[in-house]
Structure formats: structure tokens, C-alpha cells
Structure 1
């Protein structure tokens, strides 16, 4: 029960944060896709729309999952597939030595790093954990559910800002 709710919370909030950032700055996201050089430039706009749409759909279906638990596993699989695609793009950027920002959670001057890839691997693990835990027969009640959801929200804040946190710490350490 705990693993399921924790995983759903982290994945839903992470994809919500990602989708909102992309919707707020679609042009920046399209530019980021161009800079990654993984799809033809003319497809950058449609790919941005598709990826953002899938993120919104995942969030919506996971939210619906509280009333219709049967929709949760396919939504988690879709989230995992999207994370695999994003991770492949990030690895491609790193391997080719490109120094471009991720734009994963909004505009950022920080170039794609191995921390972005580690973040996605962690999110894949969390999605897998939620899938493996299965849909609980009886949901957590009251305070327990709130505490698990809060733990998921706190984890989301750390995960979605991991690259920026590490960049800040490394930069500060280098200036002493």
C-alpha cells in the first residue's frame, strides 16, 4: 500500500511539474528539442506537443486512478516509457558532448548532466516500485495516506531539482 501510493504521488507530481513547465514555456521546450538534435528540426514542434500531451495524460489518468484503480498500471507503464525516451535523449546529448540545457522542468542554464540521467533512473525505479506493489485492495486511511503523499511530494521536490542542487553545490565548492 505504502509503496503504491508513494510511487503514484512521485510520478504524478513529477510529470505535473514537467508538463506545467513545458506548457508555460513551449518555445523554450521546442528549442531544447532542437538543441538535443535527436529529431529532425521540422519535427521539434510536433514532438514537443506530443511529449507534453503524454505527460498531461499520465497525470490525468493517475489522478483518475483514485476512482478507477484499473487505469493506474497502464499510466505507470506510459510514464516509464516516456522516462526511457527522455533518458535516451539525455544519454545521447552527454555521449555526443553537447552542452545544452535539459529544460526538463523549465528553463535552466545548467547543461544536461549525468545527474539528469540518474534522476530519470530513480524515477523509473519508483514507477517500477509502484507497479510491482500492485493496486492495494484497501487504500491507506487518513493520516497514513497524507503522510505517504507528503513524503512523495518532498521526494518530488528533491528529484525535480537534483541537477540544479548538485550544480549549485559544485559551483559553490569551486569558489571557496
Structure 2
């Protein structure tokens, strides 16, 4: 399972590019640089919090629209970016972490951190919508199982460029101590 192909096939990359006034290639580079942090954040919050009685990320995504999150981004109407910001708040905990993620991804993406900050909620909605759909379709282990298969597929992914290349080392090196 290649997240780059999923985002391109769904029209997500094109939609982000149009909304942000950048080229699809720039949108793909930005998404590739941001995805490791987003996937890590999703992975950290995928399981329900038994201690607090919280339902976890799956409940949050459901309350915000589930699979319709991605459709909101790719539809011709305006994207409800506040939903993406709510997802980011849940997975990162603060705006400061979102700013840090955008700042650290900027050199790899070759884009201004301000563009990446705007891209983060849109990308979170695309990923959240995709995960919600896959989980609802009976992905084994619920949201956590779907995430595991995506991360596992990318970690062993292709050696060349694109979003999938080198994600395992990025996850291990960049995220191990950050979030």
C-alpha cells in the first residue's frame, strides 16, 4: 500500500495544489515531507484511551465526518480546514508542534514553512478520511491495523524518491524523540 498512489489516485494532491496555489509536484513534495509526522501522530492516538474513557482517534475522525473528510478536500467546494485543525490538535496536542513539524519538513520539501502549515490540516483530512474508510471497510485491527499496514508497507517501500522512499528511516530518525 503506497500512500503516494492513494493521495494521487484520490485527487488529493491536485486538490491541495489548487487550494494552496502551488504545483502538484510541490504538493507531492510537501505531503511527502509531512506524512511521516502525521502518520506517527495518528499512530500515537489510534488506540482508545482506557484511562480517560476516551474513544481515541477513530471516534474523533467519526465525529468530524469519517470518510467524508477526504471527500471534503477533493470536492469542488471550500475545504472545512477547521476539521483538519481539530485532527492536528488531537494528534499533535498543540499548534506549537504543528509549527515545528512544518518547519522541520520545509528543507526536505523545498517549500516555505508557511505553505506547509496550510497544507498540514488538508493532508490530515485526506489521511483521516482514507483511514476511516479503510477501517469501516473491515481493515483488520480497526484504525490501528490499517495504520500498521500503511506504515509497514512504506517502511519496506521503494528505495527511490516519491513519498514512500525511505519512510522507515525517517520515522525512526526524525520522530523517535520528537512526538
Same fold (TM over 0.5): no
Task: Give the TM-score, by structure 2 length.
Answer: 0.33
Q: Which one has more relative contact order, counting CA pairs under 8 Å at least 6 apart?
A: 1
Task: Give the TM-score, by structure 1 length.
Answer: 0.33
